[in-house]
Structure 1
Amino acid sequence: MQKITPFLWFNGRAEEAMHFYVSIFKDAQVGDVSYYGEAGPGPKGSVMVAGFHINGQQFLALNGGPEFSFTPAVSFVVNCDTQGEIDYYWEKLAADGGKHQACGWLQDKFGLSWQIVPPILSEFMRGIDAKKANRVMQAMLKMTKIDIALLEKAYAGE
């Protein structure tokens, strides 16, 4: 059992979310699903908690009702080594009503925020050359979806 498990609150769409995320990530699988019984609070027989795994990380999705919703204050970072990976996750996670946002962020159709970024971005930003880091920051701030080639050009001073 992992020490910390993301526990995501949905309003009646936990099972749909589980299947959506499992369909996007290549190393993903459906886990255990539990259902509300006589005691509720959800309708008897409806999904209470849907478990799933992505890249070995367990997630739990609760049908908790309309009381809470996601905000960008919590997001998941997807580290992508290639532009092809960025493009893939960018389109898949924002499909069916999701929203593209600035600087590699997007919100999926459930309102959950994701950051689709290459690890090289943080390497460029934490370098000891402040001028290069500033150029990369300025380039990234103009982007919606991250473009690795443009980041590399900014880092090189082109």
Structure 2
Amino acid sequence: MIIKQKLTPNLWFKRNAKEAVEFYVSVFPKSEIIYTSYYPAEGLLDFQKEFAGKELVIYFELWGYVFTAINAGDEFSPTPANSFMVNFNPSREVNASEMLKAMWIKLSDGGTVRMPLQKYDFSELYGWIEDKYGYNWQLILTNPNGEPRPAIIPAFLFTGDKPQTENAIYFYQKVFKNAKLGRIFHYDASQMPGMQNMVMFSDFMLENQWFVAMDGGNMHNFSFTEAVSYNIVCKDQEEIDYYWNALTSEGGKESVCGWCKDKFGISWQINPENIGELLHKPGTWEKLLQMKKIIINELK
């Protein structure tokens, strides 16, 4: 299996990953389930034994963008700090408004409206919805005369008293070698008192993939969780070492099984490109559970 993205969002589901993925594939155009891996029948820790033989990770594509769904327990829950922009471009989709409205209705089933679907200063049609699985989507009718962007873009909302977005963008621009800055707009005092000079909207590219970032100020009581992490596909141990050291620097934190957090609280999984093949070898699963950073030679 070859995944064309260098960076892939991983979504954590509480025992219902298969159901959720089938729902998303029914909602988004040009979507499909790519591949499903399964938990081993043996060698699991006590809290994982209920998953023996069941779905572990499901790779799926939504409108040309690849995600993975992790089928696991109750450890992590998503928050609006991570969301996904869904761009409906009238120059690309003839019936963009109708498509947007139809998707809104489907995602609203059992979900929670965070910003109503209506006209705003920045778009003729926009809405923010949290779906029934807790994941957040921003649906927007884009300006057909603007610089084109892909249909789906991961979005970060940095919360707290201090502005963080610009620091995060420049940090990621240093970490990822193939990176560039897109647009950046700041609040002024008339728009949001107390948030002047914070970032209202920005976008940037990492490894040929666009991301959105903005400051939310102290009006929100949520932050990033491990429910959304970003997998970095690495060709060898040298590349694993590079990303692990860079992302855990300056206050980042190591976790287990190739997971870590950067200093802004965003979670990453740093894996070799053949991790699926390695995990099928006898004894590999047990070794992986003992690791923080993945050491390829110890998994072989």
Please indicate, yes or no, whether the TM-score normalized by the shorter chain is above 0.5: yes
Higher relative contact order (CA 8 A, sep 6+): 1
The equivalent of 1:17 in structure 2 is 168
Report the structure, 1 or 2, having the larger helix content: 1
Residue pairs, 1:90-129, within 5 angstroms = 90-125=244-279, 127=280
SS at match of 1:109: coil
The Cα of 1:17 is off from its aligned counterpart by 0.3
SS at match of 1:69: coil
State, as a whole percentage, how many aligned pairs show the same letter: 42
SS at match of 2:166: helix
Give the greater-gyration-radius structure (CA).
Answer: 2
Residue pairs, 1:26-105, within 5 angstroms = 26-37=177-188, 38-40=190-192, 43-66=195-218, 67=220, 68-105=222-259
The Cα of 1:43 is off from its aligned counterpart by 2.5
Structure 1 stretches of 4+ with a deviation exceeding 4 A read none
Q: Give the alignment's Cα RMSD to 1 decimal.
A: 1.4
Partner amino acid, structure 2, of 1:151: L
Distance in 2 between residues matched to 1:111 and 1:41, nearest whole Å: 26
The Cα of 1:48 is off from its aligned counterpart by 1.7
Give the conservation status (yes or no) of the 8 Å contact 2:195–2:217. Answer: no
Single out whichever of 3-12 and 42-51 deviates more from structure 2: 42-51
TM-score by length of 2: 0.47
Single out whichever of 46-55 and 85-94 deviates more from structure 2: 46-55
The equivalent of 1:155 in structure 2 is none
Single out whichever of 83-92 and 31-40 deviates more from structure 2: 31-40
TM-score by length of 1: 0.87
Give the conservation status (yes or no) of the 8 Å contact 1:50–1:60. Answer: yes
The gaps in structure 1 that reach 5 residues or longer are: 153-158
Number of aligned positions between the proteins: 146
The gaps in structure 2 that reach 5 residues or longer are: 1-148
Distance in 1 between residues matched to 2:262 and 2:174, nearest whole Å: 14
The Cα of 1:46 is off from its aligned counterpart by 3.0
Report the structure, 1 or 2, having the larger strand content: 2
Distance in 1 between residues matched to 2:176 and 2:293, nearest whole Å: 19
Distance in 2 between residues matched to 1:39 and 1:81, nearest whole Å: 46
